[in-house]
Structure 1
Amino acid sequence: VALIKKQPLANIDYVSIADNETLDELDTVSPPALVSLAVRIGRTRLIDNIVLE
């Protein structure tokens, strides 16, 4: 998140850390967890996710 915030055109829409199976949001990261984010670069919205094992 810190790296993205350094980019002048980037605006973070959301960052989510959730249980990989239930998709319930987690307060504490415990693998396997799904990290999802959406970032706007100008008018383009980039969406990505990764599973933390």
Structure 2
Amino acid sequence: MVQSSAEDVDQYLAELPEARRGEGCLRFRTPEKIDFTLVRDLLRATAATPGPAC
């Protein structure tokens, strides 16, 4: 996963309460609880952010 600013990631994590943030990753306990729309939006926002990948 490429890095976005911490504020961007925190914004999405607030909407993904089951997700835990690791170093360069998001972890979910169960696949059924993943909101793929929010994950997609996070990835798009990250891709649009200039800077190096992690």
On whether the aligned pair clears a TM of 0.5, the verdict is no
TM-score where L is the length of structure 1: 0.32
- Quick check: which one's helix share is greater? 2
Pick the structure with greater CA Rg.
Answer: 1
| Larger proportion of strand | 1
Give TM-score scaled by structure 2 length: 0.32
